[in-house]
């Protein structure tokens, strides 16, 4: 029982200030922290990205989720945008380049999102809503822009002003604040035309409920509203700011929306005492001068990205050899033409609400592989890093099916054979025999022959390439990516295994 003399601890404590995850690894040169330097948004890049999800949002907006085709994360700062080439007139015509703010958080960099509002008169926005679906790829440049949260802010007190689609870069900021552990105080004043026009409102309400650092105020402006509405009304004004955010002059202000809204905000913020140096604005529309400024910003980013791409393409091997070993999992492969497209699961678009299908379990019965061969003596457990002569083990899970399971009978002798080497590997699900030499790993030979085996680290550490061996012997030099009981069950890691006899593999 706690002594009455000991003061009670606060319910919650946080570190002072708000610090981006890459800020603490700027000086790191090796180890796990060094690997995180790859997630630092140091410069714009030219890359191709594939759409993996579309999400309808309120206010006529659509969220498009992308991932880079080279497999690398997209490193950016909350609030920045990317410039995208849209083939609105067909693949052979000059694309239409448009810039869209990133609405996702940089703390989840393996995918990123943009949010596009459909404009009935807009050629690009209509094309995007009608044509971008999972599997579509687009050429991009980014990140671009000086409108973003600081890498470190000791007094992270923010006022976010959004009008309509101007919520998109501010949504990235809100998500980032919620994802990080630092001390912060965020007020979002969000103007919309109608009660059903506030994009991300369900997520924003949830974040405001579970994170006491975030407060949101919805406002309809001065339009008449026939629906029930419990939010605020009235255009952005000095009186509204003084009432809702009386300490606005002690906050950094990030505002995004149409030109008229932002021009009004500039004057109002001065009137309530906010210094111009604390105000940051992102225009979605603007006059010729504003458009020219953004065009110059994109052009400079393109020049920087081109110079860096040329440098990497000409000296990629030397560059990456000089980096910490941990960076390998973040950096794409390069050849003379630039980033190499990553190899992964094929992209197939499906209805987001469709029932996940249950695939039939096809049991494999291999001619010449009997219970006697499957149940031969398994090897004794070995410490990671030491060679393991992985015997056949028991692979009954790959062969035994239930009463309703389909059973496929495969005769390895009848399969076509490719490759060169002393031993034959029969991939019974692929339907192919692959010859392999004793100095070549099972994974290397399989990939050359087109046999698809997932693999990430390729050093016996992650275990992602694990498959079942139905017959034969391999020598496996793993680094902890497989357990002794899995070896006993007939599994092995092709990435760090070489064949010692002919093999029959359930892949």
pLDDT in tens, 426-485: 999 889 999 999 889 999 999 899 898 888 778 888 888 999 999 999 999 988 889 888
Phi, psi (rounded to 5 degrees) for 182:
-75, 170
Question: pLDDT value at position 233?
Answer: 84
Question: pLDDT value at position 256?
Answer: 95
The secondary structure of residue 341, as a DSSP letter, is P
The partner residues of 366 in beta bridges, in order of sequence, read 410
Question: pLDDT value at position 387?
Answer: 56
Strand positions, DSSP E, 447-502:
467-471, 474-477, 491-492, 497-499
Contact 453, 463 (CB under 8 A): no
Give the pairing of strands 137-144 and 81-86: antiparallel
Q: How far apart are CA 57 and CA 44, in angstroms?
A: 28
H/E segment holding residue 299: helix 288-321
Transcribe 158-173 into DSSP letters. Answer: EEEEEEGGGHHHHHHH
Contact 421, 456 (CB under 8 A): no
Question: pLDDT value at position 392?
Answer: 43
Tokens representing 313 are 């393409």
Question: pLDDT value at position 421?
Answer: 93
Structural domains of the chain in order of their starting residue, each with its CATH number: 41-144 (2.40.30.10), 152-286 (3.40.50.80), 412-506 (3.10.20.30)
Whose tokens are 């083990």? That residue is: 393
Question: pLDDT value at position 361?
Answer: 61
Three-class secondary structure of residue 154 per DSSP: coil
Segments of the chain scoring below 70 in pLDDT: 1-12, 25-42, 224-226, 285-288, 290, 308-346, 352-353, 355-362, 370-406
Phi, psi (rounded to 5 degrees) for 210:
-95, -15
Question: pLDDT value at position 380?
Answer: 41
Question: pLDDT value at position 456?
Answer: 78
Question: pLDDT value at position 367?
Answer: 84
Q: How many residues does the chain have?
A: 507
């Amino acid at each position: 029982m706690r002594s009455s003399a000991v003061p009670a601890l606060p319910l919650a404590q946080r570190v002072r200030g708000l610090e981006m995850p890459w800020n603490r690894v700027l000086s790191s040169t090796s180890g796990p922290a060094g690997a995180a330097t790859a997630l630092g948004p140091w410069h714009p890049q030219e890359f191709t990205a594939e759409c993996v999800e579309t999400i309808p949002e309120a206010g006529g907006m659509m969220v498009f989720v992308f991932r880079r085709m080279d497999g690398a994360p997209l490193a950016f700062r909350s609030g920045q945008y990317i410039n995208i080439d849209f083939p609105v007139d067909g693949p052979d015509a000059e694309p239409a380049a448009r810039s869209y703010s990133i609405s996702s958080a940089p703390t989840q960099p393996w995918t990123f999102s943009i949010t596009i509002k459909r404009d009935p008169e807009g050629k690009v926005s209509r094309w995007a809503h009608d044509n971008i679906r999972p599997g579509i790829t687009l050429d991009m440049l980014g990140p671009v822009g000086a409108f973003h949260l600081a890498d470190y802010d000791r007094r992270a007190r923010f006022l976010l002003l959004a009008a309509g689609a101007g919520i998109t870069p501010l949504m990235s900021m809100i998500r980032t604040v919620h994802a990080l552990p630092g001390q912060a105080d965020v007020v979002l004043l969000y103007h919309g035309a109608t009660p059903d026009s506030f994009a991300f409102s369900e997520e924003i309400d949830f974040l405001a409920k579970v994170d006491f650092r975030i407060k949101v105020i919805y406002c309809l402006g001065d339009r008449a509203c026939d629906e029930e509405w419990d939010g605020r009304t009235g255009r952005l004004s000095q009186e509204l700011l003084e009432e809702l955010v009386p300490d606005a002059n002690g906050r950094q202000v990030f505002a995004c929306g149409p030109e008229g809204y932002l021009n009004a905000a500039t004057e109002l913020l001065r009137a309530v005492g906010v210094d111009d140096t604390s105000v940051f604005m992102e225009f979605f529309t603007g006059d010729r001068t504003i458009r020219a400024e953004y065009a110059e910003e994109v052009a400079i980013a393109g020049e920087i990205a081109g110079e860096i791409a040329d440098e990497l393409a000409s000296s990629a091997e030397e560059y990456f050899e000089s980096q910490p070993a941990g960076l390998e999992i973040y950096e794409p492969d390069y050849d003379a033409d630039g980033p190499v497209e990553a190899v992964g699961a094929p992209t197939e678009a499906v209805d987001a609400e469709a029932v996940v299908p249950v695939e039939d379990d096809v049991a494999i019965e291999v001619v010449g592989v009997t219970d006697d061969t499957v149940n031969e003596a398994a090897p004794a457990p070995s410490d990671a890093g030491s060679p393991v002569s992985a015997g056949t083990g028991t692979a009954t899970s790959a062969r035994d099916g239930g009463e309703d399971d389909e059973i496929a009978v495969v005769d390895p002798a009848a399969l076509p054979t490719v490759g060169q080497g002393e031993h034959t590997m029969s991939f019974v699900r692929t339907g192919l025999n692959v010859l392999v030499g004793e100095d070549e790993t099972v994974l290397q030979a399989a990939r050359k022959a087109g046999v698809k085996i997932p693999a990430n680290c390729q050093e016996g550490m992650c275990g992602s390439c694990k498959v079942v061996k139905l017959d034969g012997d391999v020598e496996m030099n793993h680094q902890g990516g497989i357990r002794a009981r899995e070896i006993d069950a007939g599994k092995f890691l092709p990435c760090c295994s070489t064949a010692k006899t002919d093999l029959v593999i359930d892949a």
